Amino acid sequence: MHAKTDSEVTSLAPSSPTRSPRRPVYYVQSPSRDSHDGEKTTTSFHSTPVISPMGSPPHSHSSMGRHSRESSSSRFSGSLKPGSRKISPNDAPSRGAHRKGNKQWKECDVIEEEGLLEDEEREQGLPRRCYVLAFVLGFFLLFSLFSLILWGASRSQKPKITMKSIRFEQFKIQAGSDFTGVATDMITMNSTVKMIYRNTGTFFGVHVTSTPLDISYAQITIASGTMKKFHQSRKSQRSLTVIVMGNKVPLYGSGASLSSSTGTTSLPVSLKLSFVVRSRAYVLGKLVKPKFYKKIECDVTFDPKKLNVPISLKKACTYD
């Protein structure tokens, strides 16, 4: 090889392939938004390497890969909200356990709520029964009070009976014998009794019955009559006529003073008329039905001279 001159050395020096110094890498920073709801967040800057067009060092590709990974990680970290933490794969089991725990707690809450609802329904069911029972008892108490008031008001409105007169159409005494064949005086009589029945009730009618009307002499019933049943409306009255008669009633020893040759007595005869009038009022159906009893006794004197003449009973009767 020939020796190089100084001029060649100087001319070749600039073009020699000696290692050139490392060229700088430029970074461009761009802002990124981390909020989706209009909230203010800290603006993070992402670094993007820009290689100079003049050239790049031999390890530029590795540096670019590293910087790109760093920029992507910085982007991911910038997108997280403040106060949030990064979730790692190791957190997955704990998250599943947390979900399972939440599910158990929810089931417990549902069971507790159902139990509370059942308790409330049970507590509310008792007062309802009490309300129904109180309503029924109150209704019966009010109804009983109302019925008692009606009963008390009706008791003061008793029927009134006024005896008018009695008339003897026949009064005959003759000798005879009873059904056993014993000889005795026999009496036959026929009479008519008149009276007035008045219902004083202002809001109820009455059903009226009576015991037989008996005319007795010396405690021996010598005539009897029956009054027919009837209904008397409120605040009304009616006249009643009852036929009282007896046919061949034995007198035994009591008729010795009454016998005569004419077949009739010549002396006045003291008689007694007695009976009981029963009145029943249906004020509130069959629930309130007051009863009224009136016992009537009249002292009657038969005068042979007043045959077929009405005898007044206005002052001859007592009413119990």
Q: Please give the Cα distance from 257 to 271 (Å, whole number).
A: 14
Residue 66: what pLDDT? 47
Distances (CA, A) of 190 to 90, 137, 215, 216, 303: 130, 60, 11, 13, 14
Identify which has the larger pLDDT, 69 or 245: 245
Beta strand pairing call for 230-232 and 183-199: unpaired
List phi, psi (to 5°) of 90: -70, -15
Distances (CA, A) of 270 to 265, 301, 302: 12, 5, 6
DSSP secondary structure letters along 250-261: EEEGGGTTT--T
Residue 58: what pLDDT? 46
Residue 158: what pLDDT? 92
The model's pLDDT over 46-99, given as tens digits with 9 standing for 90+, comes to 444 544 444 444 444 444 444 444 444 444 444 444 444 544 545 444 555 455
Q: What residues have CB less than 8 Å from 221, skipping those under 6 apart?
A: 214, 215, 246, 249
- Residue 183 pLDDT exceeds 90: no
The model's pLDDT over 205-214, given as tens digits with 9 standing for 90+, comes to 999 999 999 9
Give the DSSP H/E element, type plus range, for residue 217: strand 213-217
- Residue 7 pLDDT exceeds 50: no
- Residue 17 pLDDT exceeds 60: no
By the 8 A CB rule, do 251 and 114 touch? Answer: no
The model's pLDDT over 102-122, given as tens digits with 9 standing for 90+, comes to 555 555 555 555 566 566 555
- Whole-model pTM: value is 0.57
- Residue 220 pLDDT exceeds 50: yes
Q: Please give the Cα distance from 34 to 44 (Å, whole number).
A: 8
Q: What is the dihedral of CA 280, 281, 286, 289, to 10 degrees?
A: -80
DSSP secondary structure letters along 57-100: -TTHHHHHHHHHHHHHHHHHHHHSPTT-----GGGHHHHHHHHH
How many Cβ atoms sit within 10 Å of the Cβ of residue 314?
Answer: 10
Give the DSSP H/E element, type plus range, for residue 199: strand 183-199
Mean pLDDT of the chain: 74
Residue 106: what pLDDT? 54
Identify which has the larger pLDDT, 193 or 56: 193
Among 109-113, 195-199, 306-310, which stretch is predicted with the lowest mean pLDDT?
109-113
Identify which has the larger pLDDT, 30 or 249: 249
- The residue assigned the tokens 């989706």 is 36
Burial 186-221 (b: 16+ CB within 10 A, else e): bbbbbbbbbbebebebeebbbebebeebbbebbeee
Q: Which of 47-61, 176-190, 209-223, 279-293 has the highest mean pLDDT?
A: 209-223
